[in-house]
Amino acid sequence: QGDPKQVLGSDSCTSEEEPTFDPGYEPDWAVISTVRPRARRSEPTRGAEPSSPRGSWAFSVSLGELKSIRRSKPGLSWAYLVLVTQAGGSLPALHFHRGGTRALLRVLSRYLLLASSPQDSRLYLVFPHDSSALSSSFHQLQLFDQDSSNVVSRFLQDPYSTTFGGFSRVTNFFRGALQPHPEGASPDLPPPPEDEPEPGFEVISCVELGPRPAVERAPPVTEEDWSRHVGPEGRLQQVPALKARIFSGGLSPGLRREAWKFLLGYLSWEGSAEEHKAHVRKKTDEYFRMKLQWKSVSPEQERRNSLLHGYRSLIERDVSRTDRTNKFYEGPQNPGLGLLSDILLTYCMYHFDLGYVQGMSDLLSPILYVIQNEVDAFWCFCGFMELVHGNFEESQETMKRQLGQLLLLLRVLDPPLCDFLDSQDSGSLCFCFRWLLIWFKREFPFPDVLRLWEVLWTGLPGPNLHLLVACAILDMERDTLMLSGFGSNEILKHINELTMKLSVEDVLTRAEALYRQLTACPELPHNVQEVLGLVPPAEPCSPSPSVSPLPLSPTRAPPAPPPPADTAAQPDSSLEILPEEEEEEEVFPSR
């Protein structure tokens, strides 16, 4: 086994019983008393053997019978753990007079997947650490077909925390991280299943793609180019052509402050100058009303509002390390940091259901840098979140769907690369999670991120250009990956080390070429056409047993021609990675 620190969490916990953010409720749990109960006769819990002569509280339980593990609140007399079985009964509490709860959880993690509940940081859900159990736990995250052991297993159960914490320190993390389990590690684990056909794919003949067309990027749209599209009363004219120009070349830096308000839906493309002024006045009043909601909360009130207090703590922590190398956010007293914090807290008032999730600060940072106005930046950020909010939702359905769609595209574009990744236990594409999560925010230098995002915001040439951007990066690195004989550790490490080494213009050029190559294929599978926006997506049927990976279906409908230049579907989604501090540690990270 590798170092337990590599297997377990990477978030913050400096002492064994240090408190973490508690949402203020304990679902499905009654209050657990720490007072030692009097001995009483009771029926043995299913899955636990009767007590032995060693003591009145001695018991044993099969690991396969465990459903969850409850950790005590910090600050009580003794730390303790309570084991809950699949039948719903709880075993006697295990008290630790001199500490040791973390050590026991680490040992258990060698044989079980322990995923911290997103609703209660002290409740750990138990999943058997084997391939058959992984398939049953895909109700939580249906992404992977095979058990890739420690890192991938953690990624399965909590991809947000794994991405934020682990991938940012990938060099230290991967040493011993993906070692297979030794034979006979636990008698409770069932034997591995016999070789079976990989689920989710149909046996089909490879799609014959034509030659990849040459693509050239255009120069950025300038203020003069923009002014030619401004008509009477300040209304923009020939908007589809203007969007096509932005897609082909991006925007000049001096134009971004105005153009981003349109690209992000804050200002209407059809509105006049007077209508825009009235809209801004209305939105300014609305913003400050929401800001007053949290500004007027007294410290005493906030102490009794664990949710708001938790959001504020997360925001302060994330803002303090967001783009600090950028001069706009340098220094401890920089006003830009205060604006980031205020906007994010106000967003919690705007979107109560979503609130704040780690990574939003990095999505807001470039917007505030460009807009340089608190109110306008807030509403532009809301427009961006309309595109990507699904990435932050606890269900993770959006991320599951995108990873499945990415795998589908890659299987059509480069079957040998897919086969290689499968052979190295990397066919799940978990190393692409960060890319899609935050729209490549950590992969490119800051100015290149601005260019990439404004191109993606046009919604051209289809709804999932960001997936083709991911395909383009993999296409650029395919020879390095395949010819170097990289294993899964090295693949993850290599992908992580691409950060700040990619050219955004080269990637966008290749992504557009891949799109044209796919759309020119007359036998393109129907579900690939759906991903590219060439045909309407199929109506969702009743809950399907598996959504990832998507099957490569034969063509079920005649291929549609590429959408015209004025078709502006919205891009899909994404989120972001914050580097964790080396000294900080938590037993099992939670979202």
For residue 33, the model assigns a pLDDT of 33
Same fold, 253-391 and 394-532: no
For residue 155, the model assigns a pLDDT of 57
d(CA 538, CA 417): 28
d(CA 368, CA 381): 8
- 8 A C-beta contact, residue 313 and residue 21: yes
**Is the CATH number 1.20.140.10 carried by domain 394-532?**
no
C-alpha torsion sign, points 123, 577, 2, 154: positive
d(CA 552, CA 547): 12
For residue 152, the model assigns a pLDDT of 52
- How many residues are listed for the chain in this entry? 591
For residue 248, the model assigns a pLDDT of 98
For residue 475, the model assigns a pLDDT of 98
- Please state the domain extents for the chain: 4-173, 253-391, 394-532
For residue 27, the model assigns a pLDDT of 32
- Helices 446-457 and 465-483, packing angle to 10 deg: 130
Task: Specify whether the backbone of 429 is left (phi greater than 0), alpha (psi in -120 to 50) or beta.
Answer: left
- Taking the domain 253-391, which CATH number applies? 1.10.8.270
- 8 A C-beta contact, residue 366 and residue 375: no
10 Å CB burial of residue 232 (0-12, 13-18, 19+) is: exposed
For residue 448, the model assigns a pLDDT of 98
For residue 157, the model assigns a pLDDT of 61
Helix (H, G, I), strand (E, B) or coil at 262: helix
Rounded to the nearest 5°, which phi and psi values hold at 96? -120, 100
Output the DSSP codes for 418-487. HHHHHHTT-TT-GGGHHHHHTTTTTTS-HHHHHHHHHHHHTT-S-TTHHHHHHHHHHHHHHHHHHHTT--
Look-up of token digits 């077909």: 145
d(CA 255, CA 251): 6
Ordered mean pLDDT values, 10 residues apiece, the chain (591 residues):
37 37 32 38 46 59 86 69 86 80 83 78 73 39 42 58 51 38 41 40 62 97 97 95 98 98 97 97 98 95 92 94 92 90 97 91 96 98 96 87 96 95 90 91 96 98 96 97 90 94 97 98 94 86 40 40 42 38 40 39
